Structure 1
Amino acid sequence: MKNTARQWKKSNLSSLQKRQSSLERSKEQQAYVIAALFSSVVGTYLDLFFVGIGMYHFPMRLFPEIFTVNIAFTLLILPVSVILFLYLVNRMRILPRCIMILTISTAVIFIEKAAEKLGGFIHHPDWNHAYSFFGYMLFLVIVWRVFRFFK
């Protein structure tokens, strides 16, 4: 009789643990989606602002007669990159996470310069690529915080 009661308690506990882990997984997936959408909206509005004040522009973009920003970047590349970033840093401790953010922020400088050479991006002569370094560093920290908040 004792053995049956013990098995019943274990099976109930196992079922509860499975439901909780399923709920946690669902909440984490929602956090990825929310963070990706957040990054897309913030990226789009920042691009609209900086294009509007003439700090840079996108000579090659989808639907140039409609959009002044590169919607392929803000609606596809940025959110997918953010999800990849969050997936990686979510499994890291704080020091490697900080190093990753600094590395990505540094890489953005070189990616922007390469995009300029390919003609996809043109900065105003007064633009300093340090703006991009600090901007992306802040952006990634904020996106990480949004992700953690909703997770």
Structure 2
Amino acid sequence: MNKDSFVCAVLASLLGTYSDLYFVGKGLYHFPHRLLPDIFSIHIVFTLIGLPILTMVVLYCLSQVNKWWRAGLILLVSLLMPILEKLAERLGMFAHSDQWMHEYSFFGYLLFCTIIWGGYSWLSSDRLPY
């Protein structure tokens, strides 16, 4: 992993943290089991450790394929997220309100992955003088 993927992993962590804070604050979902529940309303272990690691793995995979495979992988990841959310709900790690529609997750992760890939490809180009 290079410093560009690390920077994007930090960006992913920030985006994940702020989106979780927003949606948890709106009452659309919550995390029943989380570290330091009296302090944090979100699952900080996932947003600060799990999401950055997964982001670096996905970025590595995306960087190894052409643009059509890349688009397909982003779509695949986005399609898998609602399925994984339902699994997390069954395991008691995640709970959604009745207003939540899992299609939100598909479009959210599609946008999230596109932003992260865009940042990574911009950082990896020769546009920056570092």
Q: Which TM-score band (shorter chain)?
A: over 0.9
Give the deviation of 1:47 after TM superposition: 0.1
Give the deviation of 1:37 after TM superposition: 0.2
Specify which structure has the higher proportion of helix.
1
**Alignment RMSD:** 0.9
Give the deviation of 1:142 after TM superposition: 0.3
| Count of residues in correspondence between the two structures | 124
- Is 1:59–2:32 an aligned residue pair? yes
Alignment TM-score, normalising by the size of structure 2: 0.93
Query: CA separation in 1, counterparts of 2:33 and 2:55?
Result: 23
- Is 1:35–2:33 an aligned residue pair? no
Residue in structure 2 matched with residue 77 of structure 1 by the alignment: 50
Q: Which of 84, 89, 112 is the matching residue for 2:85?
A: 112
Q: Which of 116, 124, 127 is the matching residue for 2:100?
A: 127
Q: Which runs of 5+ in 2 are unaligned?
A: 125-130
Give 1:59's aligned amino acid.
P
Per-residue deviation, residues 51-82 of structure 1 (Å, max 9, x unmatched) = 00100000000110110000011011100000
Query: CA separation in 2, counterparts of 1:138 and 1:87?
Result: 18
Residue in structure 2 matched with residue 50 of structure 1 by the alignment: 23
Q: Which runs of 5+ in 1 are unaligned?
A: 1-27
Give the deviation of 1:91 after TM superposition: 1.1
Give 2:84's aligned amino acid.
I
Q: Which of 63, 86, 93 is the matching residue for 2:59?
A: 86
Query: CA separation in 2, counterparts of 1:29 and 1:98?
Result: 22
Q: Which runs of 4+ in 1 moved over 6 A?
A: none
Alignment TM-score, normalising by the size of structure 1: 0.80
Give the deviation of 1:29 after TM superposition: 1.4
Aligned sequence identity (%): 42
Residue in structure 2 matched with residue 4 of structure 1 by the alignment: none
Residue in structure 2 matched with residue 150 of structure 1 by the alignment: 123
